[in-house]
């Protein structure tokens, strides 16, 4: 069975993967990524971020993002745009800048409007806001919040909606997949945006998990967001382990993938599941968490792991 085929048969819009431009010269990698029976959706892992798309103020470079958009279009795959406003991977002119309220408002409007407008009509959903909260549910201190307070959220969302009225506009974050201070803060934000008439269509559950530690209330948390009038999506799923991998860890990882996918499957407002690249060869985990890895459903030699069967079972 194929992952996107079973996802669609279950009524979801897609099963997808992140990818990144430096991976595309690898023909063995692309041969699997190209198969839309596996992946009905692609997310660029880096090439639509601010440092990549507006490295100097007013100078836009879309070539990296376009490479991935073109690949997805050639394969009839949906695209999730990632992302407009994030504290990380900012060009230094933004990160280290000192701006008035009026200046930064205009900078966000120009960035989001130009980025989203460049691919108008071609992107299923955009992570307009990425990771706005600390784990304790307080706002993250960065140039956006420190200058504008929480108004940077509607400023960005409204600019994106004007640039592409058909794209689904998301806020994306990690550690919001279970009940707690951070998901509560996100729910309060959704309610505020809805009450103010600010465009907001979806919440992304990044879902960077650890083997054996998938939250037991992930489905209930999805349902709680959907009840507020937004869709949800699993946007960056991976399940890491302390290396070396063992048969027991891979078996638990299979269950963990199944738990996440079956949660989305059970919630009509969960539109799809995206993994944060499909092969351990290109996972971000070992570079960020030394000694950990093996987080993806395909191993570094492009062989499917037990996790793959967990995904298939999750859509059953």
Which residue ranges make up the site for ligand G3I (CB under 6 A)? Answer: 45-46, 88-89, 130, 206, 236, 284
Quote the least distance from Cβ 85 to ligand G3I, whole Å: 12
Shorter beta-carbon distance to ligand G3I: residue 130 or 198: 130
Q: Is the four-CA dihedral 82, 88, 92, 97 of positive or negative sign?
A: positive
12, with CB counted inside 10 A (0-12, 13-18, 19+), is buried
Q: Which is nearer to ligand G3I, 118 or 130 (CB)?
A: 130
CB of 236 to ligand G3I, least distance (A): 5
CA dihedral defined by 240, 283, 274, 160, rounded to 10 degrees? Answer: 120
Tell me how far, at minimum, the Cβ of 46 lies from ligand G3I, in Å: 4
Asked whether the beta carbons of 68 and 21 are under 8 A apart, the reply is: yes
Residue closest to ligand G3I, measured at CB: 284
Alpha-carbon span 256 to 253, nearest angstrom: 5
Phi-psi region of 84 (alpha: psi -120 to 50; beta: other; left: phi over 0): alpha
Going by C-alpha positions, the residue among 20, 85, 31, 74 that lies closest to residue 283 is: 20
- Of 177, 188, 236, 251, the catalytic one is 236
Please say if 236 is a catalytic residue: yes
Tokens representing 265 are: 């499957």
3-state SS assignment for residue 13: coil
Please say which residue, 80 or 305, places its beta carbon nearer to ligand G3I: 80
Min. distance of Cβ 83 from ligand G3I in angstroms?
Answer: 7
Nearer CB in complex with ligand G3I: 17/118 = 17
- The residues annotated with a catalytic role in the active site are 236
């Amino acid at each position: 069975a194929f992952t996107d085929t079973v996802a669609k048969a279950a009524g979801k819009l897609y099963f997808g993967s992140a990818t990144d431009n430096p991976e595309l010269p690898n023909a063995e990698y692309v041969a699997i990524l190209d198969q839309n029976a596996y992946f009905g959706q692609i997310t660029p892992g880096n090439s639509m971020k601010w440092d990549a798309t507006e490295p100097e103020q007013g100078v836009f470079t879309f070539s990296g993002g376009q490479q991935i958009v073109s690949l997805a279009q050639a394969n009839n795959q949906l695209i999730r745009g990632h992302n407009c406003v994030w504290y990380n991977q900012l060009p230094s002119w933004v990160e280290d800048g000192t701006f008035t309220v009026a200046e930064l408002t205009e900078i966000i409007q120009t960035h989001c409007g130009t980025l989203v407008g460049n691919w108008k009509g071609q992107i299923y959903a955009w992570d307009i806001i990425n990771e706005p909260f600390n784990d304790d549910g307080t706002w993250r201190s960065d140039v956006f919040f420190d200058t504008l307070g929480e108004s940077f959220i509607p400023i960005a969302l409204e600019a994106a909606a004007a640039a592409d009225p058909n794209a689904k506009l998301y806020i994306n974050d990690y550690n919001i997949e279970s009940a707690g201070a951070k998901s509560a803060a996100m729910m309060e934000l959704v309610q505020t945006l809805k009450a103010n008439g600010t465009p907001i269509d979806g919440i992304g559950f990044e879902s960077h998990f650890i083997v054996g530690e998938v939250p037991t209330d992930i489905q209930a948390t999805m349902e709680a967001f959907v009840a507020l009038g937004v869709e949800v999506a699993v946007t960056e799923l991976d399940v890491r382990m302390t290396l070396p991998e063992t048969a027991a860890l891979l078996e638990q990882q299979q269950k963990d993938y199944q738990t996440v996918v079956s949660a989305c499957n059970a919630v009509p407002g969960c539109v799809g599941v995206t993994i944060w690249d499909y092969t351990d060869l290109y996972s971000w985990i070992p570079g960020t968490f030394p000694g950990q890895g093996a987080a993806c459903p395909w191993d570094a030699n492009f062989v499917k792991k037990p996790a793959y069967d967990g995904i298939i079972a999750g859509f059953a």
